Chains A and B, each alone.
Chain A
């Protein structure tokens, strides 16, 4: 835990040498596992100065360890520093939504602070307290990237407190891609040179060539691709990643999942169908049980060295790069594969691209908020601000299982990651991949509207039917489109359009 970005350490040292008197008085917070308290509105020193004894803060968060463990850790620290009693409850992902929603709907003030998936903002926004200006103006917030501020904002107001950054990108094994023997093998099988896939067709091809034999020589069979394919376990995000480049045309705005004008579902248009066909095809390169992999299985599979490639959140990459990992510094990051054929829904035709069309998926990730009903809003925001203060974030970023990933500009600093023992090219590929997504103008966001759970579970169900071979991709997605139309009718097209406008604004770069 002592390794920290040299620049930051220097910055911190500069501030402390500038105020020698303060250093004398400054308490030592190293027992909390941080390298150094970094000054700011919610630093250890600032929070230490507050007194909330006799007050109670109720927090709901995800299961241990992802987000759940850092929540518990910082809750304990916050409690020690301020004297407040902090109760934390951990809930598995599948049930987090209803555990928050039932009290909201019935007006029960159950939790002050909520950690949840940022895509639920469409459902929760009515129940959340806006982030006060004192916090939006803080130094920690100023450094948060524009896209994650955008994700936290609803109808022009920040109502989520950014504390994590998320996106999907490609991870692959550099030791295999760089191995001449493997390159020859691939050439023999396909006639092409082995390269990091730039389209999903290439991804499937590479995956299938490297599936079913022991390419790392450890005595166990290896496979091509680990993907989140279990129906109720975030598989909807994997499908969006795969379908996005085929369905998100860079010149067509006005909605990815729906046509915002008519609120007609676009989920069964040819772009999505193509994405699903390739998803179905990819199954042959999955490890045993791969069609039932949840995110945890994917992390174990790629992070444990079983598979050649994977794509989804940061976790598998960080797992692979942990101290003591068998494949440390044998992995690389790259943007998600793209598509050379993109469906243009305005002309109703496939458009060809020479350079693959990329549509980075700014997946939902963890976010936090304070309940409007909370009687301790100030303390609640202080807790969130403390949770995400610079010192804590740099600490949390280093621990893969915490699930806290870069979301401030200062996190895209190769030197910081090299300081953790990453090779320079690994750290560079990671930082470049992540920061380039921030610059893309063809990004796809989640369907952040009321009832997103219904839409996504319906979609996941259709995709699962196609993966299991119960239906063809077109049939399956036609079924999903029908269900989506029913949901739109039940919830109300106008209400959905109003919410969906928030998403389209981000996608069309108007936000």
Chain B
């Protein structure tokens, strides 16, 4: 474990870091190009290799014709993701607690089968359900609304919440709830007063996954909305014409990934404290 080992280790880490950040740097550079700078081959440094232009960025906030206004899609995305995540996290936490503390049996269906039912929802590729969901939302007049998307996203995110929280509760000693019940709490009271306050780490992880998978979904947002409720990924793809404006696409991409990238900092903080311990098993 000498110096060489450390040097090699840092070298490897730097190589991986370069790989991770490369597409972002490339997008940043591209977002300041114009058509001539793009078509003359790969160029990296503004001023040195090409004349920078800000049209990529200005087009994002211009209204109407000159570009697409990204503020509304941004707010839509945020609302749908947050609402669906909160609902999923709430329902999922309760279910996960139930599954980790009680045994259910209906016919041959046991706890593990119920858990599997939840998780198996993730196996279904979104396109399979696109048309049925469309017809269902049409019936309840929820097409092209935030409400409609939240319904669908709950089906998408609930399995994740159940998966993370089941593992998490399995790592919390049962003695904790039993003590509370000896003190006179009802089972439900014990859950809310004692178990839940000790579950911050699990909730953070589950919530984070809900946010990631909700924010990043594309196909449902794409098929179940018309003009009123556009979400961010859909708005970005609307720039994907036969003549792709690389510059605004890059600027748009950078803006849309920033909020979630900030989550990485929060997650890292929790992880360093070791408090994600039980969240994955």
Residues of A bordering B, CB below 8 Å: 58-60, 62-66, 68-70, 72-76, 87-93, 95, 98-99, 102-103, 106, 108, 110-111, 220, 233-234, 294-296, 299-300, 303-306, 315, 319, 324, 326, 401, 403
Contacts and interface: CB of A to CB of B under 8 A. Distances in A.
B53 to A, nearest CB: 12
A92 B226 contact: no
A91 B225 CA distance: 11
Interface residues of B, number: 32
**Residue of A65, A88, A111 ringed by the most chain B CB atoms within 10 A:** A65
A64 B242 contact: no
Given A63-B240, A296-B243, A304-B39, A90 B226 contact: no
Contacts of B41: 220
A64 B223 contact: no
A66 B242 contact: yes
B243 A102 contact: no
Given A89-B227, A304-B39, A75 B64 contact: yes
B242 A93 contact: yes
**Residue of A63, A76, A233 ringed by the most chain B CB atoms within 10 A:** A63
A91 B64 contact: no
A69 B143 CA distance: 26
A72 B65 contact: yes
Interface stretch (B6-14, B80-88, B130-138, B151-159): B130-138
A305 B63 CA distance: 33
Given A300-B38, A315-B243, 9 more contacts: A64-B68, A65-B245, A66-B242, A72-B68, A90-B68, A99-B223, A220-B41, A300-B39, A300-B243
Nearest to B64: A76
B228 interface: yes
A233 B244 CA distance: 13
Contacts of A108: 138, 143
Given A76-B65, A106-B135, A296-B244, A90 B38 contact: no
> Which 6 A/B pairs are nearest by Cβ-Cβ distance?
A73-B65, A304-B39, A90-B238, A87-B227, A63-B241, A76-B64
Interface of B: 36, 38-41, 63-65, 67-68, 131, 134-135, 138, 143-144, 222-223, 225-228, 230, 237-245
A76 B65 CA distance: 7
Contacts of A92: 237-238, 240-241
A69 B228 contact: no
Contacts of B134: 102, 106
B241 A89 contact: no
Contacts of A300: 38-39, 243
Contact of B242 (A76, A87, A315, A326): A315
Contacts of A102: 131, 134, 223
Contacts of A88: 227
A73 B40 CA distance: 29
Contact of B138 (A63, A76, A106): A106
A296 B226 contact: no
Contacts of B243: 65-66, 295-296, 299-300, 315, 319, 401, 403
Contacts of A315: 242-243
B131 to A, nearest CB: 7
A89 B69 CA distance: 12
Contacts of B228: 87
Nearest to A233: B242
Given A73-B65, A89-B226, A106-B138, A63 B239 contact: yes
B226 A73 contact: no
A89 B242 contact: no
B20 to A, nearest CB: 25
Contact of A64 (B63, B225, B245): B245
B240 A89 contact: no
A324 B238 contact: no
Contact of A110 (B65, B226, B240): B226
A357 B74 CA distance: 55
5 contacts: A70-B65, A75-B64, A90-B239, A102-B134, A296-B244
A291 B68 CA distance: 32
A68 B226 contact: no
A102 B222 CA distance: 12
A76 B64 CA distance: 6
